Amino acid sequence: MTTVHSTDPTRTASPATADPVIELVQLARSFPGPPPVDALHPTDLTVRQGEYLAVTGPSGSGKSTLLNLLGLLDRPTSGIYRFCGTDLRELDEAGRTALRGRRIGFVFQSFHLVPHRTAVENVALAQLYVTGTRRERRGVAEAVLRRVGLAHRLDALPTTLSGGERQRVAVARALVNAPDLLLCDEPTGNLDSGTAGTVLDLIDDLHGDGVTVIVITHDPGVAARASRRVAILDGRISHRQDTAHGRDT
């Protein structure tokens, strides 16, 4: 598989010795009532460069709250979130937006593609946070689409793509800025089992290339692909397991 990422050695370092991408220290999120809701109780969690983490739990367990905090789509009520060593409390909203656009890639269940833009245009749009001419952005977008197996669909509109192809465009868009973190929110939720397997194989390949991946899912089969699982229930992380070795951590 051709890679468009940098050759930063931390991308291929062992997760056990790599630098942290995410460090949560007593991070919490509550919403005012009545009654007030503790959507995420104080949480400690570290995710290192090159890890593949699955966050599992039923609807209403706190998965989406955690995802929104990790992806800088929401702010915590209390606690500390360090992203690649940066304490996010030190950033204003413009700084958070810039960091999110450049260093975090998102893959959503519902694709979120712009319907009147071609596949390559959808991917190129994600580069507006980085420098480069329109031609340069298109060149990088084409390279990433080839990487995910869509060299033959560069100029296709989303309405003409299959569900699996649309999700591959979404993955390419998430990767185009070579992010430090790939966040996947139920990435196979709208796909049939065969197509879902293809997309999960792609995520496996990306992780094999050194991409740090966090998948939010309620599907045990999706979670089993990860090297580590975190189960969340009622806003509390209740269990950690190394799926490669079958032991609690």
CA nearest neighbour of 155 among 136, 141, 135:
141
Higher pLDDT, 123 or 192: 123
Give the pLDDT score at 120: 97
Tell me if 55 sits within 8 A of 16, measured CB to CB. no
CATH of 50-73+103-248, one of 2.40.30.10, 3.40.640.10, 3.40.50.300, 3.30.750.80: 3.40.50.300
Q: How far is the CA of 221 from the CAs of 74, 90, 193, 202, 216, in angstroms?
A: 28, 38, 11, 15, 12
Q: Kindly provide the b/e burial profile for residues 96-122, where b requires at least 16 CB atoms within 10 angstroms of the residue's own CB.
A: eeebbbbbbbbbbbebebeeeebbbbb
Residues 6 or more apart in contact with residue 82 via CB below 8 angstroms: 20, 22, 23, 25, 88
Q: What share of the chain is helix, strand, coil (3-state, %, to 5)?
A: 35, 25, 35
Give the pLDDT score at 241: 58
Query: Each residue of 139-196: pLDDT tens digit?
Result: 999 999 999 999 999 999 999 999 999 999 999 999 999 899 999 999 988 888 888 8
Residue 216 β-bridge partners: 55, 185
Helix or strand holding residue 125 (H, E): helix 119-125
Q: Kindly provide the b/e burial profile for residues 158-181, where b requires at least 16 CB atoms within 10 angstroms of the residue's own CB.
A: beebeebbbbbbbbbbbbbbbbbb
Give the pLDDT score at 190: 86
Q: In whole angstroms, give the CA distance from residue 46 to residue 41.
A: 16
Please tell me the total number of residues recorded for the chain in this structure. 249
With pLDDT > 70 as the criterion, what percentage of the chain qualifies? Answer: 89
Look-up: residue for tokens 């094999």?
A: 208
Largest CA distance in the chain: 54
Q: In whole angstroms, give the CA distance from residue 212 to residue 121.
A: 25
pLDDT of 5 higher than 50: no
Give the pLDDT score at 4: 43
Question: Across all residues in the chain, what is the average pLDDT?
Answer: 88
Q: In whole angstroms, give the CA distance from residue 234 to residue 226.
A: 22
CA nearest neighbour of 108 among 45, 9, 199, 22:
199
Q: In whole angstroms, give the CA distance from residue 233 to residue 99.
A: 29
